[in-house]
A = this chain, B = another copy of it.
Amino acid sequence: MKFSSFLPDTPGWEMIGEEAHYAGAHLSVVTHHVRTPSRKGGRRWTVVHRKAAVVVAPLTAEGNLVLIRQERVPIRATIWEVPAGQIDDEGKCEVADMEAVALSEMREETGYELAIGGGLVPLGDFFTSPGFTDEHSYFFLAQPVQPGAAGHAHQESEAILDCQAFTPRQLREMIAANEIRDANTLSMCAKLVAGGFLSLS
């Protein structure tokens, strides 16, 4: 797994050396020795590499957001969250490829698809925890969406137990009550609010 092509060594950053610790199917761990804009002498930092991902906000014509309820092994909990999925080869990915991943993840995980006249709006990207990982995800708003004829198609590797559309008022209450509590969904909500696509007030 290479350091993401999306994150080039921009001016002031330079890799001096690296030490690999672990490489698995889904993540790898490497200590970087790197010159930074403020540390010309270099510093060492242990980084977890992960594939990039897309995160989708399926919004119905009524302005409701479709969430899935998913079992998450690392946190031993089942939580409500927006659909998301990893991108296989980000370096070769054009915007159209990412949009295709966004639509197929939405369809597989929620059973919803774009209604006639619907489309995707790219809303930028974000880093899930830049203190230790290069993982980053691309936000897409999908609107309007409607339940598809084929229903969902959950993969064996996933454990999605439920799917439901929530009103903005329900979302606000779930955020305030700590029922929505993952970075993808909270950050997506901030993006939707700042972009004028959702009101949580």
Q: Write the residues of chain A forming the contact surface with B, with a CB cutoff of 8 angstroms.
A: 7-10, 13, 21-22, 24-27, 29, 31-32, 34, 36-39, 43, 45-48, 50, 71-79, 84, 124-136, 159, 161, 171-173, 175-176, 178, 181-183, 186-187, 189-191, 193-196, 199-201
Contact = CB atoms under 8 A, between A and B. Distances in A.
Nearest to A48: B48
This chain: copies in complex: 2
A193 B195 CA distance: 14
Given A43-B73, A190-B189, A178 B124 contact: yes
Contacts of A201: 193, 196, 199, 201
Given A172-B194, A190-B200, A75 B182 contact: no
A78 to B, nearest CB: 7
A10 B76 contact: yes
Nearest to A45: B73
A176 to B, nearest CB: 5
Given A193-B200, A194-B175, A27 B46 contact: yes
A132 B74 contact: yes
Contacts of A50: 129, 132
A32 B47 CA distance: 21
Nearest to A124: B178
A47 B73 CA distance: 8
A47 B74 contact: yes
A181 B126 contact: yes
Which 5 pairs across A and B sit closest by C-beta, in order of nearness? A183-B183, A186-B187, A124-B178, A175-B194, A45-B73
Contacts of A183: 126-129, 183, 186-187
Contact of A176 (B43, B128, B189, B194): B194
A88 B142 CA distance: 41
A193 B130 CA distance: 23
A92 to B, nearest CB: 20
Given A27-B29, A159-B39, A74 B190 contact: no
